[in-house]
């Protein structure tokens, strides 16, 4: 699962990486690794936390139609 839209959505919503990590209750380093492609398949719980923090669906976050 590659989060194609994560950085784009984060910036559109006005979050820094640190701010989004805090709101999603994940570590800053995890978010940086996900955005940078170092973690290609994050846990579904992490994806759900990020989607909720951004106010979008999981499908929107991963780029599904």
As a dihedral over the C-alpha atoms of residue 55, residue 23, residue 8, residue 34, rounded to 10 degrees, the angle is -120
What confidence score (pLDDT) does residue 65 get? 53
What confidence score (pLDDT) does residue 42 get? 94
Thinking of the domain 6-62, which architecture would CATH place it in?
Answer: Orthogonal Bundle (1.10)
**Angle subtended at Cα 17 by Cα 15 and Cα 19, rounded to the nearest 5 degrees:** 55
What confidence score (pLDDT) does residue 33 get? 95
CA distance 35 to 4: 9
Please report, for the chain, the start and end positions of each structural domain, with discontinuous segments joined by +: 6-62
What confidence score (pLDDT) does residue 1 get? 53
Weakly modelled stretches of the chain, pLDDT under 50: none
What confidence score (pLDDT) does residue 19 get? 98
What confidence score (pLDDT) does residue 34 get? 94
């Amino acid at each position: 699962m590659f989060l194609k839209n994560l950085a784009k959505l984060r910036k559109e919503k006005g979050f820094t990486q640190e701010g989004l990590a805090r709101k999603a209750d994940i570590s800053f380093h995890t978010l940086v690794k996900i955005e940078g492609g170092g973690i290609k398949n994050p846990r579904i719980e992490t994806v759900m936390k990020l989607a909720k923090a951004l106010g979008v669906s999981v499908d929107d976050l991963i780029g599904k139609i």
